[in-house]
Structure 1
Amino acid sequence: MKIVYIGTYPPRECGIGIFTHNLYQSMVTDQSASLDKQANEAPDVEAFVVAMSDHDLTYNYPEEVKLTIRQEHQRDYLKAVKFINLSDADVCILEHEFGIFGGQNGMYILPLLHRLEIPLIVTLHTLLEKPSYNEKAVLEQICKMAHKIVVMSHKAIEFLRTIYEVDVSKVVLIAHGVPEIHFDQEQSKKRLKVENKKFLLTFGIISRNKGIETVIKALPKVIEKHPEVIYMVLGKTHPNVLHHSGEEYRNYLHLLVKTLNLEDHVLFLNEFIPQNELFKYLSASDIYITPYLNEAQITSGTLSYAVGVGSAVISTPYWHATELLDEGRGRLFDFNDSGQLSNILMELLDDPAAMKSIRKKAHDYGKTITWSKSGEKYVSLAREVCAANPQVISRAETLIDPLLLPQFSLDHIKRLTDDTGIIQHAKFGIPNLKEGYCLDDNARALLMVLMDYQQTKDKQALNLAPIYLSYIHYMQNEDGTFRNFLSFSRQFLDEVGSEDSFGRTIWALGYLLGNAPNDAYYQTGKLVFFDAAPNFEKIQSIRGIANTMLGISYYLKANPNDESMVERLRNLAGKLLKHYEDNSSKDWHWFEPLLAYDNGILPLALLHAAQILNEERITHVALESMDFLTALTLKDGYLSIIGNENWYEKDGERSMFAQQPIDALAMILMYQQAFHLTRDKAFLSRLFSCFMWFLGENDLRMSLFDFETKGCCDGFERSGINRNQGAESSLAYLISYLIVLQAFEEFEEVEEKSLVHLSA
């Protein structure tokens, strides 16, 4: 069995790194040595490490580290998963802590895990009782992809079940291991020159939440009675704290010591010491203290080590301490309560027998959680996972499954809509009135509610339609063009809008003319549409052309005998073909020298034109450009949109970030129309794959749909999800949702016809 570990690793100074190293040693070195002794057999556990590096620092890693990932370089994660998949590894063990992975809340690890072709075991080092939206989403995705989840406390299992809704059958409790290192207390004290002292110790990475000031404030009262007390704070400042705040906290502690006249009783050792040395300090200590300031600590390696070595431990009642120090293995005091800590310290220092009893119970328990025992449990778990031969997520095209869809809801759209129109932007899920309204979004909103009413006969959708239609009418100029932007106070903000906004409006109006719910709406739409018609062939922007072609196509499907409009469609299609001829080449089948935004709309327009005009050249270019776009964005079985950060220039490198929902919508519409033209069911599967981009089947493995607000996030950047939920994004999601419902009905219809044909 070959194992790959992902986590931090020595010599990087990190608690997770020490854990990963000890786990590696206990599963590989210790188990192999045991096999050799027992049966003189060759070891059957091999392993290597993929190490996380921070802030572009380089480390002199040991030979078991075969690859490193720079924390904030997402391409390193993708290179790493390719390496792992080609390594013959049988199982991957991930050490998860939010802060060691890049992106917002460590989300850069998600694309790596999604691409893994071997089973995944995850060890969770942090579980939050009140996670942020992104923290919860990231952890839920990791738990979904994991075949087994290892936690180190019963509280963690409770959190996974109640907060993160994880199937507890996947969860395994394995205690934090402790090294089998033991030193004589007297010798250790002598070596540290504290043989005549009562030696109190706190160690670990230093930051404000460790509550060290609580201990310092407790000491004056203790020292009055026990002047031989020495308190040592052993450990370096947390690197993130050091990066943002420097040594502000350590300086505060030094000042507090000076203020309380404790300079002869408090020592600070600002070092990250090797494990062997650490256990000498632990063995020398009379009392070990963890004075953390709140209960939100699900796992503490430092506490496990102290119990493992048989220290008399006093701690605040954070979650892990409450469990680990149960049954007399330590004493607890309230958060921030220096007085209570003083009393417990004096009680134990006055009663050596009580202290000895605590030390013995801790030592006895420590024998049950040694790394050799934890390593055995991890090896057994890894073998169990491999023997089960679990199914790894297939990258094949996804079949349409409407059961995967959240319930359709107009809640967020109604929240954004007032009696003028739909507000274009939002701050998270709240309308941003400062940004006012725009034509693009009111056109999209009209299209969406018309589609909704056509499919569901939902009266609330029909009631919204006149708001959006009246906005479009209000924004039309005398020459048939449109203004785009209107302030919240109903002041015009431009004279003529963009050609893109013009085209999207014609698209919505054309759809209205082909699918009008009543005559009043039809007549209003017809008036605005034909007032705008003289401007159709003046458009130069290729996306403006494409959107206008969609509106004309929907109109012509209901009015096929309008020859003048057919010619307008043909002329506009000719403009798109000319762009294609001017820019395409052997390896670049596209309309521009770059792939920018809303790309699928260009093949989509030609696919509609091909259905109406039935011209071979239009059909050929539509399908060829669609295949080119597909090869670039669906090659891994899920939609990877061209990012708007830098787009994708010919012979350049594609941009991954600033992916936006309108691009997913364009792809969904493109595949639906490709199916209408060809009747090839594969296009419906691709359509559904593209829709799943909204629900987490994307490069970041994060859902953009907000299950609480029923809105859709505005896309994702390098830092993670853009949580603002503007009209464009939410409408793109809802239109896409309605297209998926249509596609499912069409798929069922094709399947039914196939069965009838076979039975005949």
Structure 2
Amino acid sequence: MTAIPEPIFDHLLRMTDRRGTFEHARIAVPDPEHGYCTDDMARVLVVATREPGLQRTLNGVARIALQFLNGAQALTGACRNRMNSNGNWVDEPAVEDAWGRSLWGLGTAAARSDVVWARQSAILQFERGAQERSPWPRAKAFAALGAAEMLAFDPEHRAARLLIIDYAASIAESTGDPSWPWPEPRLTYANAVLPEAMIAAGVVLEDGPLRQRGLDLLAWLLDTETSGGHLSVTPVAGRGPGEKGPAFDQQPIEVSSLADACARAASVDSDPMWPDGIRAAAAWFEGANDLGQPMWDSDTGGGFDGLHADRVNRNQGAESTLAVLSTLQHAQRFSAVPQ
């Protein structure tokens, strides 16, 4: 098996200043014009705290992310998403994806950071955010992942348990259609977070059917997003029943979401498809994709923003960079698993 490259954090560090990580870049140059967003800073916190001791320089990045997320939260627990380059918030607190991702990042930091103050800050912020509930499926799913991380750290954490109970109760019933078991009429974005959250909730709540539904749904998604021996993920416009690929433009977040979900599945199920899925996600960034082109800068760790029908978008924004770093973190852990 080809050696899995290690994550490289140079570009992430270049994209990060004292306030946060810039959302966009022009090729490899940070673009302050569009400022920062909570979605990205939650991802930063996940990546920076997932591997305690891996990169001591990442402790500083985690501190910036925690401070950003703290500022994003209202006292109610709702969350702002956008800050301009002058450090001013430009939207109102809400319970959309930024809220869910914030809880995901905070739960991960509480469970995995090796810095005491970081864990304590993450717990306080998580408890504030966990007061809220969201009607949006992906926001709820990200929040449930954060709750599962918190419960791994503290199995008696009441707010996390209540949040994940409410999440499980909100999951739509199965469609009953084996050709389209997906709980939505179309695949859209960050799709794998839905089955991943089902798996996590099923494990925490000792709900075997929910856990199995998540595994089955993830297996279907992985099969649907594989073509010609490589990943061919859902494009920005989505994918519905009967629609065939390849379709463009494809976003790195789809690939990293699959890697996240496969890593969780591999932690509770021995089927080799899950490590294989993680390796396929890493290979997508290395060039095993519909254009046969690398989707990252292997010298700096910058991730390319999109795979179009005729070219690679070589801008290296925060979301894409964090997608490749997260995927390679998982792939490193599973690189020794036999194929």
Task: Mark yes or no: TM-score above 0.5.
Answer: yes
Give, in whole Å, the separation in 2 of the partners of 1:428 and 1:564. 42
Paired residues of 2:282 and 2:328 also in contact (CA < 8 A) = yes
For the pair 1:695 / 2:290, whether they are aligned, the reply is no
SS of 2:201's equivalent in the other structure is helix
More strand by share: 1
Letter of the 1:591 partner, please give it: P
Amino acid at match of 1:445: V
- Aligned partner of 1:482 in structure 2 is 79
- Could you tell me which runs of 5 or more consecutive residues in structure 1 were left unpaired when the two chains were aligned: 1-398, 752-760
Asked if 2 retains the 8 angstrom alpha-carbon contact of 1:647 and 1:654, the reply is: no
Indicate if the aligned counterparts of 2:95 and 2:134 stay in contact, CA closer than 8 A.
Answer: no
Q: Please show how residues 670-749 of structure 1 align to structure 2 within 5 Å.
A: 670-744=261-335, 747=337
CA distance in 2, matches of 1:564, 1:450: 22
Q: Does 1:519 align with 2:112?
A: no
Partner residue, 2:143: 548
Deviations 1:572-599 (A, max 9, x none): 02212x2x43x45231111101111111
* Separation in 1, partners of 2:157, 2:58: 30
Residue 532 of structure 1 pairs with residue 129 of structure 2: yes
Alpha-carbon shift at residue 445 of structure 1 (Å): 0.7
SS in 1 for 2:276: helix
Look up the SS of the partner of 1:739 in the other structure: helix
User: How many pairs does the alignment contain?
Assistant: 339
User: How many Å apart are 1:498 and its aligned residue?
Assistant: 5.7
For the 8 Å contact 1:484–1:498, the answer to whether it is kept is no
Bigger Cα Rg = 1
Q: CA 1:711 to 1:520, structure 2 compared with 1: closer, same or farther past 3 Å?
A: same
Matched, 1:409 2:8: yes
Give the match for residue 423 of structure 1: 22
**84, 88, 91: which one aligns with 1:494:** 91
Q: Specify the code of the residue in structure 2 equivalent to 1:443.
A: A
Normalising by the residue count of structure 2, what TM-score does the alignment of the two structures yield?
0.94
Equivalent position to 2:42, from 418, 443, 448? 443
Which amino acid is 1:656 matched to? A
- Structure 1 residues 399-455: Cα deviation after superposition (integer angstroms, max 9, x where no partner): 5x4x242x4321101110000011011011001110101001111111111124x16
Structure-2 residue corresponding to 1:297: none
How far apart are 1:606 and its partner, in Å?
A: 1.0
Against the structure 1 CA distance between its residues 418 and 545, is the aligned structure 2 distance closer, same or farther, given a 3 Å change threshold?
same
Letter in 2 for 1:551: G
Instruction: Name the SS of the counterpart of 1:426 in structure 2.
Output: strand
In 1: Cα distance, 2:94 partner to 2:157 partner: 28
Alignment of 1:490-639 (within 5 A): 490-497=87-94, 499-535=96-132, 538-563=133-158, 565-576=160-171, 578=172, 580-581=173-174, 583-639=175-231
1:444 partner amino acid: R
Q: CA deviation at 1:563?
A: 4.8
SS of 2:131 mapped into structure 1: helix
Q: Which has the higher contact order (CA 8 A, sep 6+)?
A: 2
Separation of aligned partners in 2, 1:652 and 1:442: 34
1:665 lines up with 2:256 in the alignment? yes
1:342-381 Cα offsets, whole Å, 9 max, x none, are xxxxxxxxxxxxxxxxxxxxxxxxxxxxxxxxxxxxxxxx
Deviations 1:107-154 (A, max 9, x none): xxxxxxxxxxxxxxxxxxxxxxxxxxxxxxxxxxxxxxxxxxxxxxxx
| Aligned pairs for 1:387-406 within 5 A | 401=2, 403-405=3-5
Indicate if the aligned counterparts of 2:130 and 2:163 stay in contact, CA closer than 8 A: no
- Corresponding letter in the other structure for 2:91: D
What's the offset of the Cα at 1:682?
A: 3.3
Q: Which digits, 9 at most, give the CA deviation of each residue in 1:654-692, with x for residues without a partner? A: 561011111101111111111111122332122101211
Q: How does 1:118-267 map to 2 (within 5 A)?
A: none
SS in structure 2 of the partner of residue 593 of structure 1: coil
The CA deviation at 1:637 is 2.0
1:460 maps to amino acid = T
Equivalent in the alignment of 1:641: 233
Query: Where does structure 2 lack aligned partners over 5 or more consecutive residues?
Result: none
Give how far 1:566 is off. 2.3
Q: Which amino acid is 1:722 matched to?
A: N
Pairing of 1:298-309 with structure 2 (within 5 A): none
Closer, same or farther in 2 for the Cα pair 1:567/1:519, shift >3 Å?
Answer: same
